Amino acid sequence: KKPTCECFSCYGGSDCSQFSPRCPADAESGDPLFLEPYWTQEATQSAVLVAGWHRMSYDMADGSSISSELEWHIRRLHAVVGNAVAEGKFIVFGTGSTQLLNAAVHGLSLDTSSSSTPVSVVASAPYYSGYREQTTFFASTNYKWQGDSYQWMNASNPSMKFIEFVTSPNNPDGRLREAVLGGPFVKTIHDHAYYWPHYTAIPAPVDEDIMLFTMSKLTGHAGSRFGWALIKDESLYERVSRYVDLNTMGVSHDTQLRALKLLKVVLQGGGGGGEIFGYGYQVMRDRWMKLSKVLSTSKRISLQKLAPQYCTYFRKIRGPSPAYAWLRCEMEEERDCHAILKAAGIIGRSGTKFGFESRFVRLSLLKSKYDFNWLLQRITAFVAEESAKS
Ligand code: PMP
């Protein structure tokens, strides 16, 4: 019998209830649905109801100032988690931190550029591809994408100026990082999308000139598109704000309202779901350990090595719990790791997207329980096939 409606990609049968064992495990995107069960527990506390007449204006002036309340909660959250010094910093909201990536490049390039040479925008490989994609797409005369920071470590041309993106912990490999370039002609943008106790130990609060955060990886609400920048310098704050004003005239008030509600639940330490960081860490740690165990017997693929570290938030040494697995195909002839895994029904993101070798692939560990379990099954089968052959 033909299905009466269209089934989701991996389901078939007349009522779409049969899962197809041939379905690939899709671990390509960083969709943070692992936090969905937490919010199911917090359904009532976290709900937002907005009446039709409410907050219609372009201005925030119609009623209480939600933006300043949201700012207050962001500062409070950083103080409680101890991951960043937010006191005394200016805050700019963005439509996700995605909007703030280019806003920051724009702001810093006006500060750094001389009329003749565009500022070189770099990041050390493997890096999050959004930096390269945005910088090349927006194609300003003020700045230019110049690839891997390591290539420029010994740059001797004194007229060259740099903006370096530093991602810590890094997407894709989960390592805590620092800038590679230094000196008076280098400005850095610190992207801390994953600097939360779910994904990493928090050794100390960060306190840099411009730091980017996002709700996507904090609460998992990627679809609300909310991020923020903490900025030390007032004139940089003004340039970044102007970019956001010209680009979108600020961030949706509906989104701000929802962000505020969610942060309140996070700060109250949750209700039925408990404390979000404890929950997030437990899920991510469990996934990492399961994956590590399966891959420990493989000679064909290896996993990045991350060391346990003292976390000031949990006040103990804690094992790794990264957002992504960063795999390497070890066999000499298996240079296109993405293709090797794809043939085994495992869809990841190729190392080449991160400005790195095709021998590497990123697998997302952030998706739903079902996605992760299916991924684990597929990888287990891949490793079992290898031991059967040897
Ligand atoms: N920075 C990094 C390192 C990311 O991985 C992502 C999303 N995956 C972003 C920024 C953008 O996130 P968003 O726009 O959802 O805030």
| DSSP one-letter string for 183-203 | STTEEEEEE-TT-STTTS---
Choice from 35, 124, 128 to test ligand 1 binding pocket (greatest atom count within 8 A of CB)? 128
Strand partners, 329: 301
- Residue 1's pLDDT is 53
Q: How far is the CA of 367 from the centre of ligand 1 (A)?
A: 15
* Confidence check: pLDDT of 272 > 80: no
Instruction: Write out the two tokens for 5.
Output: 């409606």
For 174-204, the pLDDT digits (tens) are: 999 999 999 889 999 999 999 999 999 999 9
| 89-103, 272-286, 319-333: segment of lowest average pLDDT | 272-286
Share of the chain above pLDDT 70, in %: 95
Q: How far is the CA of 306 from the centre of ligand 1 (A)?
A: 21
ipTM: 0.99
Q: C-alpha angle 225/231/236, rounded to 5°? A: 105
Nearest-atom index, ligand 1, CA of 128 = 3
* Pairwise CA distance, residues 91 & 75, whole Å: 9
Question: Given pLDDT bands bounded at 50, 70 and 90, which one contains residue 42?
Answer: very high
- Residue 357's pLDDT is 98
Q: How far is the CA of 212 from the centre of ligand 1 (A)?
A: 9
Q: C-alpha angle 13/15/18, rounded to 5°? A: 45
- Residue 349's pLDDT is 98
Q: C-alpha angle 224/211/111, rounded to 5°? A: 115
Residue 15 DSSP SS3: coil
- Residue 123's pLDDT is 98
149 CB under 6 A from ligand 1?
Answer: no
Give the torsion sign (CA, 6, 8, 12, 18): negative
For 89-143, the pLDDT digits (tens) are: 999 999 999 999 999 999 999 976 555 789 999 999 999 999 999 999 999 999 9
Residue 339 DSSP SS3: helix
Q: How far is the CA of 117 from the centre of ligand 1 (A)?
A: 29
- Residue 4's pLDDT is 57
255 CB under 6 A from ligand 1?
Answer: no
Question: Given pLDDT bands bounded at 50, 70 and 90, which one contains residue 83?
Answer: very high
* Confidence check: pLDDT of 233 > 80: yes
- Residue 60's pLDDT is 66
- Residue 133's pLDDT is 98
How does the average pLDDT of the chain come out, rounded? Answer: 93
Long-range contacts at 23-26 (CB < 8 A, ≥ 24 apart): 23/345, 23/374, 24/342, 24/345, 24/346, 24/347, 24/378, 25/345, 25/346, 25/347, 25/371, 25/374, 25/375, 25/377, 25/378, 25/379, 26/347, 26/367, 26/371
* Pairwise CA distance, residues 273 & 284, whole Å: 16
Question: Given pLDDT bands bounded at 50, 70 and 90, which one contains residue 61?
Answer: low
